Amino acid sequence: MNFRDTYKTNKSATLEIRSAQDKAVTVSFPAFLTSFGNKFSSQWSEEVVYGRQDPIGTFQSTKRTINVGFSIISYDLADAKANMNSINNLIKMLYPSYTDAVGDKDAKLNALVMSKAPLVELKLANLIQEQNAYENFLLGWIGSWSADPVLEMGMFTDSNKLYPKVYNASLDFTPQHRVDLAFNKPTTGDKAKFPYDGG
């Protein structure tokens, strides 16, 4: 069985991204990972006191950032069209939703109010996941996204339209955890699976 057949039968081999604005809008890509990073940075407020060689630190927060690089590969024209549609849908997820401003009907033409921020949810096997909550999707926002065609790999053509065979894709994701994370919480059960479920 080749990877394409495995991908179609094994959803754990995919990077899934769905919109938090409308959870019916979901895209998925085979997980041909080229890079993966999971960075944790501790934020502290430092105060320098006269006569003390070291600053006094006051803890503020721990920030997590996930960086994923992967290749989007199309095996045929149908795959290439589907991948392009998935990329288009993902780009749309990066924009917020708006509603008309309340008031005069003529004013609605020029005044819009943001109603939903462009939050998304990610899942990639046991590498990106929420611990047995919210269908294991991890909530957050995409700070940057790119999908650049690999020109030397060529393109499929159909009715004068071009469909890249391979993209180099990458995204930066900042999670918003919906489960409590604390050092003194029990390390059994779901908490032991943070950030990776390796058991």
Nearest Cα neighbor of 117 from 20, 17, 18, 26 is: 20
Answer with the residue of higher pLDDT: 102 or 184: 184
* pLDDT tens, position by position, 104-142: 555 555 567 888 899 999 999 888 988 766 678 999 999
The tokens for 19 are 């919109």
Confidence of residue 1 (pLDDT cuts 50, 70, 90): very low
pLDDT at site 89:
96
- What does the alpha-carbon distance between residue 83 and residue 197 come to, in Å, rounded to a whole number? 29
Mean pLDDT along residues 46-70:
93
- What does the alpha-carbon distance between residue 137 and residue 166 come to, in Å, rounded to a whole number? 26
Mean pLDDT along residues 32-60:
92
Mean pLDDT along residues 26-53:
92
22, 115 contact by CB (below 8 A): no
User: Which is it for the CA torsion 181, 187, 193, 198, positive or negative?
Assistant: positive
* pLDDT tens, position by position, 150-170: 999 999 999 999 999 999 999
The tokens for 127 are 């590498």
Q: Provide the whole-model pTM.
A: 0.81
DSSP 83: H
Mean pLDDT along residues 192-196:
74
Cα separations in angstroms, 165 against 6, 8, 72, 78, 148: 20, 18, 8, 11, 11
Mean pLDDT along residues 18-26:
92
28, 16 contact by CB (below 8 A): yes
